[in-house]
Chains A and B, each alone.
Chain A
Amino acid sequence: MIKSLVITHGKLGEELIRVSEKILEKKLDIDCMGFDWQEDGSGIINKLEAYLNKNKKHQVIIFTDMFGGSPSNICLRYINPNVEVITGINLPGMLKYLTYKNKNLSFKELVKTIKNGMIEGINIIGEYLGEKKND
């Protein structure tokens, strides 16, 4: 089974999950941790270790908000074949994950599919419409 966890600065992750729930009109089984601006990181590291320990029989995808940011950096030491981190999560990526997680993809394929969904969701509308008109 694949479990997922969102770790972001502040309440960004909570809102991302709340909006995804609104769009898909269902309660989502995603855990969330917010990185407090004032803390040194030890609190969230403890929570993350407890989470991974609790889910050690599962594969875990951790979504963080920005490559190089504290939420991402603290996850680096926990990466292994059953734990992957995807940085820069956005709404298209979250929806991609939620609509593909039960489609019998391998863990690696699912992670790549999510990343592609995140990238596909980024467009400069003027260029995008221009490309469509020029097709």
Chain B
Amino acid sequence: MIKREIEITNKLGLHARAAAKLSHLANTFNSDIFLIYDQDKVNAKSLLGILTMAASIGNNITIVAKGKDEEKAVNKITELFHNKFNEEN
């Protein structure tokens, strides 16, 4: 199992389009992937689950992945956060 904490840096936080991109990416991996924010733990493969976190810029969330492709999953998801969901220059 891999855990990695990451800060949300895009202006709009985990809003609908960002959550859609994140859940879409998470669904490409076989591993179980969860996001933990505050006391919430949600399935990263669920768009609506991600939205219920109401996580915004400056919040830290933890990515947790468990499975054969866990390392690749966490790396790719981290990359998506670092690229601000490809919605900012």
Contact = CB atoms under 8 A, between A and B. Distances in A.
A-B complex is real? yes
Interface of A: 22-25, 91-92, 95-96, 99, 117, 120-121, 129, 132, 135
B17 A23 contact: yes
B52 interface: yes
B16 interface: yes
Most buried by B among A23, A117, A129, A135: A23
Interface of B: 16-17, 20-21, 23-24, 38-40, 46-48, 51-52, 54
A124 to B, nearest CB: 13
Contact of B39 (A25, A92, A120, A135): A135
Contact of B48 (A25, A96, A129, A135): A96
Contact of B52 (A24, A25, A120): A120
A120 B48 contact: yes
A25 B85 CA distance: 13
Most buried by A among B16, B48, B52: B48
